Structure 1
Amino acid sequence: GAAAAPLADGVLADAARRGSIRMSADPASSRARMETLYALEAVAERNRPVAPPKKPEAAPFFLPSEMDAQRRDAAPPPALPPPPPEDDAFAGDDGSDADGSDADGAVAGAAAEASRCRLASLSLAEDATDVATHLGALGASALDAEIALLCRGPHDAPGVELVRRFAGHLATTLETHGHFDAIQAYLHRLVQHHAAVLSLPQLRGPLATLAAAQRAAAARFRGLVHENLCLLEVATAD
Structure 2
Amino acid sequence: MPRSYWRDLHRIDEIRARNKPKEAPKEPEKAPFFLKTQAGLNPVFVKPDEEDNSSSNKRRLDDSAMDLTRCVLSTMLERAEEDDSWDGVLDYLLGLGSSGVDLEMNLLEGEDDLRRCIAFFTTSIATDSKFEVLQAYVGLFLKKHGDVLVESPELSPLLGKLKEAEKTRLERLSHLFNQSLCLIK
TM over 0.5, yes or no?
yes
Other-structure match for 2:93: 135
Q: Deviations over 1:93-145 (max 9, x none)?
A: xxxxxxxxxxxxxxxxxxxx996332111111322112112111212211221
Unaligned runs of 5+ in 1: 1-28, 72-112, 152-158
CA distance in 1, matches of 2:160, 2:76: 22
Q: Distance in 2 between matches of 1:178 and 1:114?
A: 31
Percent identity between the aligned chains? Answer: 30
Return the alpha-carbon distance in structure 1 between the equivalents of residues 179 and 141 of structure 2.
31
Distance 2:179 2:107 in 1: 41
CA distance in 1, matches of 2:118, 2:106: 13
User: What secondary structure sits across from 2:154 in the alignment?
Assistant: helix
Alignment of 1:198-237 (within 5 A): 198-199=149-150, 200-232=152-184, 234=185
Indicate whether 1:38 and 2:39 are aligned: no
Higher helix share: 2
Is 1:173–2:124 an aligned residue pair? Answer: yes
* Alpha-carbon distance in 2 for matches of 1:209, 1:143: 23
Partner of 1:197: 148
Partner of 2:55: none
Consecutive unaligned residues of structure 2, counting only runs of 5 or more, are 35-46, 51-66
Runs of 4 or more consecutive aligned structure 1 residues displaced over 6 Å after TM superposition: none
**Aligned equivalents of 1:52 and 1:114: distance in 2?**
31
- Give the TM-score, by structure 1 length: 0.56
Letter in 1 for 2:170: A
- Residue 221 of structure 1: CA displacement? 1.6
Following TM superposition, by how much is the alpha carbon of 1:229 offset from its aligned partner in structure 2, in angstroms? 2.1
Partner residue in 2 for 1:184: 135
What is the aligned residue count? 155
One-letter amino acid of the structure 2 residue matched with residue 134 of structure 1: Y
Residues 135-176 of structure 1 show CA distances to partners (whole Å, capped at 9, x for unaligned) of 11212211221111112xxxxxxx221011011011001111
Distance 1:202 1:50, change over 3 A: same
- Aligned CA distance change for structure 1 residues 54 and 114 (closer, same or farther; 3 Å): closer
Question: Over alpha carbons, which structure has the higher Rg?
Answer: 1
Q: 2:70 aligns with which of 93, 101, 116?
A: 116
